[in-house]
Structure 1
Amino acid sequence: MPLGPKGPIADGFHAVGLDAPKMLYNDTAVVIGMVHVMLAYMVLPLMGSLDRIDPALTPAAKGLGASGWTCFWRITVPLSLPGMLAGSLIVFSLTVSSFVTPAILGGPTVKLMPYFVYTEATTTLNWPYAAAIGFVLIVVTTILTAVYARLLRGRGGKEVFA
């Protein structure tokens, strides 16, 4: 396991003469694992959005005197915004409901909501409390997703993705 005490990251620390920090069963391990798992779900919509940008726009802007950073911030970022928004919604939805990655990398010390619901229902057998936490998780996720979807709509009800 790369984050374990005998993994390549620990070997790199030992190679330069440092003690390897504990990188498993903590918040850092969960964040690294979640980024690793969810990165593809962000990249795919973003690549689709970047693929639809007309390649002649950047040379045209540079011909009119725009710098490389100006082309990036005024052409590429606004035109790739639908892919960024779609990817972030996908990643949020998958991350808020993820169970396996935090359970493996975080262990019993890192309790995210899905893992907490699971432990309450199976370990302590407190089914009403687990159901209440699960219901709160679903309600908060639904409200945040609905607010996000409303923010994605442009003026006059026109969708950003249209």
Structure 2
Amino acid sequence: MLIVQCLNKGVKTDEEIAEKTGIRLNIVRKILYRLYDAGLASYKRHKDPETQWYSYDWKFEPEEVNKTIKKQINDEIEFLKNILDNEKDNMFFSCPEGHTRFDFEDASNVGFTCPECGEEVVFEDNADIIKELEKDIKKYQKIYDSIEVSE
């Protein structure tokens, strides 16, 4: 957060940020590159005419924050939908000792016995899991819909 605050106050180079925050330069650079990879920061490279070294002027991109958050939430929604589809499309069996959980095909491949303890696996009603996934998807969808993104 200190690095973003520095960028917002007009501090541009990684060296200046390290100096102002007291954070080691290599850590500042790692964070700046992570912000860049996430689309939350940009930079301009220029060469010092005396030293011939490159320096970078960094800029925080606040308008990208909501886009990034929205994308991450959408990715989570898609992930949960895939799990939900799998839960709806399969029958599950689990070890009574809690070792393993199988879909029907995998349970039949191991002879409906737990490979860890040898107990017979039993049918698992996954209605509660399905309800919980649907609830989570709705919660994320509501958050997703509430985030405004400027185009």
Sort the TM-score into its range (normalised by shorter chain): 0.3 to 0.5
TM-score (norm 1): 0.34
- Bigger strand fraction: 2
- Bigger helix fraction: 1
TM-score (norm 2): 0.35
Higher RCO (C-alpha 8 Å, min separation 6): 1
